[in-house]
């Protein structure tokens, strides 16, 4: 029973292991020069076909981006206007923050002076 289970597990593991591709080896002594030339030509044709496919795909992509750029000039202008508005709002917020920070620092300095001026143990209203 144990041997049967072990054999079953071993055969399942062996079938799940990756196996190398069974491609022709050009250094195989049984291959003829004609077979080597045929393999070389097949690989060359596959590479050229893939190159043509990639060039066509890239041309389609480039055409699509060109169409997008030509069809959306008003969108780019709107995006530039939005950026300018956001930039201006940021500058206004920054100026407002700096003014508020100066006011806060003045009030804190005044508070420190008032606290230091209070006699020890006396409630100065803070």
- Which parts of the chain have pLDDT scores under 70? 1, 12-26, 71, 73, 76, 120-126
Place of tokens 């049967």: 4
pLDDT of residue 97: 97
CA distances from 46 to 35, 36, 49 (A): 16, 15, 5
pLDDT of residue 36: 83
- Where in the chain are the domains? 33-71, 72-116
- Identify the burial level of 81 via C-beta atoms within 10 angstroms of its C-beta, where 0-12 means exposed, 13-18 middle and 19 or more buried: exposed
pLDDT of residue 14: 63
pLDDT tens-digit profile of 56-85? Answer: 999 988 888 777 777 676 776 777 788 888
Query: What does R_g of the chain's alpha carbons equal in angstroms?
Result: 39
pLDDT of residue 21: 47
| Closest listed residue to residue 110, CA positions, set 122, 124, 95, 94 | 124
């Amino acid at each position: 029973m144990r041997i049967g289970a072990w054999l079953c597990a071993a055969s399942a593991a062996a079938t799940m292991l990756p196996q190398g591709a069974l491609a022709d080896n050009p250094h195989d002594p049984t291959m003829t020069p004609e077979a080597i030339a045929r393999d070389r030509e097949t690989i060359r044709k596959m590479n050229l076909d893939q190159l043509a496919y990639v060039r066509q795909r890239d041309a389609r992509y480039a055409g699509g981006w060109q169409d997008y750029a030509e069809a959306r000039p008003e969108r780019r202008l709107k995006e530039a206007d939005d950026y300018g508005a956001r930039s201006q709002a940021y500058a206004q917020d920054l100026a407002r923050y700096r003014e508020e920070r100066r006011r806060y620092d003045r009030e804190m300095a005044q508070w420190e002076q008032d606290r230091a001026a209070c006699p020890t143990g006396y409630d100065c209203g803070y």
